[in-house]
Structure 1
């Protein structure tokens, strides 16, 4: 299937510091493209891949599983580590879960993690029915474009394929088990008004990771897709400052915990 216009991956080769960005479930690189372009303009090497099954039609996502999405992100991470001295992983929603698992699995290859409204657990009791429901109902209404900013639209599917949603629920278990292995510096940005991912997701991340250099920032004016919303500039600036702080250091710095 041809790609939806705007869903194309983005790659930019520049300096010795690289950033991998991971988009969300049923979304596309479009939701992170302005973020990627801002990082590239700052002289960073940037990779924003299109995850398997995304950016075409929801039926294509139906036949993929979390292992496919994670394998693509891991492949891009390894490519970045071959050409960069330091690599950071960023993610929105499910992409935040991918970023955290990559950090847990790849240790010293990841210098830091930035997540925006990370999705790491179920917020819907109906998730427990997915093992059976996915064989009876192919899809449900989509979750894209939870954005407060008028006139801004996320390029995502209008349906959620239930086979893929079931696999996502299994991925959440994998991420939860991996969280204690995350010891890198973490910047977490979350929207208090998020109609897709509950605050319990960010709370779970902050409670289980082993990182001591942790910063939490609120996106007060945004909904779930905060990277396209009113707080996009906050996200861009905070994440760029995070990378610069950690890439400049030649010696370990004193750990900080700035939550709130």
Structure 2
């Protein structure tokens, strides 16, 4: 099914070969790699090996996404992880929104992950949970491009498949139930004002993970897509600092 849709310009996966330390970078629900590319490029510039996979059904057409499951999205991220494993000794994972959810999933499953950086990650969205049961409705309005900076636009779908919402809810439930399995160092970024994922999600994550080393940083000048917003430099700077600190131990 997926083959009939071309990848949108700017939504391609990205790979940067660097040193033996890898960073897996995941975009979010209905979004594309465009939202994470500036981070990927900055981490590559710092010398790291970076992989930014395109989640299956994303960066093409929302009807393509409708055909995919949350297991497909997990596979997309795990393929990126395997790509890094072949090249690196140490791996960090970061992601935005559902990419943050997938980041947590990876830390729950793979104990070898050295550290994670979830950004406005989602583990419970009650409003969305209600939406998945809408009868006869196939697509909802877009949820992308929640950005404070008026000059920036996110490359995301103009419609959201109701079926995909159900898949996201399943993924969040799975991840939320296993937060206690996250033991690696964790740096959580949360936007003070977010119109897609309530900031309370990040507090819930912070409280429920079992990591000894964990920090919550509030972003005051960004909405949901903080990776493309005013606080992008802070995310990059603090992430590089976090990685450096862990590697120096």
Give the TM-score normalised by the residue count of structure 2.
Answer: 0.96
Kindly tell me the number of residue pairs found equivalent between the two proteins.
245
| Distance across 1 between alignment mates of 2:73 and 2:178 | 17
| Distance across 2 between alignment mates of 1:71 and 1:129 | 25
> What is aligned with 1:120?
123
Alpha-carbon displacement from aligned partner over 1:7-40 (angstroms, at most 9, x marks no partner): 1111001101000001000000000010000000
- Once the two structures are TM-superposed, the CA of residue 65 in structure 1 deviates from its matched residue by 0.7
1:123–1:198 Cα contact (<8 Å) kept: no
Matched, 1:197 2:197: yes
Misfit runs of 4+, over 4 Å: none
- Once the two structures are TM-superposed, the CA of residue 221 in structure 1 deviates from its matched residue by 0.5
Alpha-carbon displacement from aligned partner over 1:105-128 (angstroms, at most 9, x marks no partner): 0112x000001100111141x523
| Distance across 1 between alignment mates of 2:100 and 2:13 | 17
| Distance across 2 between alignment mates of 1:25 and 1:11 | 20
1:123–1:197 Cα contact (<8 Å) kept: no
Matched, 1:11 2:15: yes
> What is aligned with 1:72?
76
Alpha-carbon displacement from aligned partner over 1:134-184 (angstroms, at most 9, x marks no partner): x51111001111000121000000111010111110111100112100000
> What is aligned with 1:258?
none
- Once the two structures are TM-superposed, the CA of residue 218 in structure 1 deviates from its matched residue by 1.0
| Distance across 2 between alignment mates of 1:42 and 1:129 | 42
> What is aligned with 2:114?
111
Alpha-carbon displacement from aligned partner over 1:221-250 (angstroms, at most 9, x marks no partner): 00000000000000000001111111232x
Give unmatched runs, 5+ long, in structure 1: 250-260
> What is aligned with 1:233?
233
| Distance across 1 between alignment mates of 2:212 and 2:129 | 32
Give unmatched runs, 5+ long, in structure 2: none
| Distance across 2 between alignment mates of 1:226 and 1:146 | 9
- Once the two structures are TM-superposed, the CA of residue 3 in structure 1 deviates from its matched residue by 1.1
Larger mean Cα displacement after TM superposition, 55-64 or 75-84: 75-84
- Once the two structures are TM-superposed, the CA of residue 198 in structure 1 deviates from its matched residue by 0.2
Aligned match for 2:37, one of 20, 23, 33: 33
- Once the two structures are TM-superposed, the CA of residue 215 in structure 1 deviates from its matched residue by 1.1
Matched, 1:49 2:53: yes
Alignment of 1:203-214 (within 5 A): 203-214=203-214
Give the TM-score normalised by the residue count of structure 1.
Answer: 0.92
1:100–1:113 Cα contact (<8 Å) kept: yes
- Once the two structures are TM-superposed, the CA of residue 129 in structure 1 deviates from its matched residue by 4.9
> What is aligned with 2:150?
150
2:131–2:162 Cα contact (<8 Å) kept: no
> What is aligned with 1:218?
218
* Paired residue secondary structure (1:50): coil
